[in-house]
Amino acid sequence: MTKPKTHDLFIGGAWSKADNTEHDTIRNPATGEVLAQVAVAGEADVNRALRTAQDAFPAWSRQVATDRADYLYRLIELIRRDAERLARIITSENGKPLKEARIEVNFAIQLIRFAAENVRRLEGNIIPGSRPGEKILIEKIPHGVVAGISAWNFPLALTARKMGPALAAGNTFVIKPHELTPLSTLALAELSVEAGFPKGIFNVVTGGGATVGNALVTSPITRLITMTGSTPAGRKIMAAASEGLKEVRLELGGKAPFIVMEDADIDAAVNAAVSARFMNCGQVCTANERTYVHTAVYDTFLKRLRAKVEALKTGNPLDEKTDMGPKISAQELEKVDAMVRKAVEQGAKVELGGRRLTGSDYDKGNFYAPTLLTNVNGDMDIVRNEVFGPVLSLIRVKDFDDAIAQANNSRYGLSAYMFTQDLKKIMRMTNELNFGEIYVNREGGEAAQGFHHGYGDSGIGGEDGQYGLEAYVDTKTVYLNA
């Protein structure tokens, strides 16, 4: 057996030992196999990375925008070249099926590509002045050092989502990947060296949120914080950042409603409902967390849904035929199982699954059966709280108004789904469904040129597209007189 690799921190374009000798053990959630040992940064290490990024900022920010974009284009070509290797790293550390990991790699490419292509579209304004001959210039300028804090469910794409626009806009960047899934980001750091990135513009500090994340957030060097993760973690980051009056972008939890009306294409809706719930073992912030089906088609929908869920193959994520892999950790698995048991106590019926998978290779990993619950109502905990696991809750609604009311009865407001052929319902939905992004007659999966953002407990700010890119610049107003 090959000895697991030991990874250092990535600071100033080179691998750097942490001040301490501690390491996180990274395990494959499907097999329990040790994949690597990864350095745990201390506060001094984080400060060193931030100072390095600060030192690199003046030269990087003064580069012509298209020159900065060219570095990103070179990185994209290397990601394409190593796409299969990167997909296998994602699958090994995260547990998602290989076919989904390949999609993630492509999405990472698209996110970086959009930032590179659109950096020249960070345009300011010229406004007539209030004095004779005066012009008022409003210029877009980079913030400085941007700190990224990432989640474990899309380890490569989330780094790309933040790194691409941060660097394209002229900032320098320090990221903390999640301690469960740092290997994809470390692999990207290796490719940044091959792409010839100037030293110090992209840095990776590994370790836990309590030390590494807090040091990134509270340092006076950091000017913008972009974080993807849980709502409780986001609240802590916002509170810590407030002391330094820092700009914060938070992409947090979700509780997406999936609405199926009586005129929907049932087969398309069933396929999308399953895809939007069980992709990445349900560990997606835009996942279908609450499925609302019109009573007129409920029985037909349930029959077809049951068959579709029952056919899902759960197992080795490196197997091309696998539809669903393991949960990321035993702790996450236990959390989901407790939520299902609580739902049953409150009156839900388990149609399928509802248990940990055991026996054979299942015992080595964190596998939970694809689960379908019926007899669910809005008073249950499982309808109010984010599951983040492979549990589909089916809820009967009497009409469109009932569906909208129940869908909006949530403290989250990230994503929603609507299946209907009625243009009037679609037009009403655009005004009445209170979510930042809505998928109409399709499965989930945001586009790099869109804008991924939510309301309420789903966070503040947003990512992707031109609106997301604009978050990585500040403005400077110049009153110009001859």
Catalytic machinery residues: 251, 285
Q: Coil, strand, or helix at residue 221?
A: coil
| Residue 203 β-bridge partners | 174
Q: How far is the C-alpha of 482 from the C-alpha of 74, rounded, in Å?
A: 42
Q: How far is the C-alpha of 84 from the C-alpha of 200, rounded, in Å?
A: 28
Q: Coil, strand, or helix at residue 439?
A: strand
Nearest CA to 81 out of 195, 186, 158 is that of: 195
Q: How far is the C-alpha of 87 from the C-alpha of 141, rounded, in Å?
A: 35
Residue 308, Cα to own-chain centre: how many angstroms?
26
- In which element (H, E) is residue 290 found? strand 288-294
* Alpha-helical runs (H) found in 63-182: 65-81, 83-94, 98-118, 155-168
Question: DSSP 3-state helix, strand, coil percentages of the chain (rounded to 5)?
Answer: 40, 25, 35
Q: How far is the C-alpha of 16 from the C-alpha of 18, rounded, in Å?
A: 6
- Is residue 30 within 8 A of residue 8, CB to CB? The reply is no
DSSP for residue 197 = P
Q: How far is the C-alpha of 165 from the C-alpha of 463, rounded, in Å?
A: 9
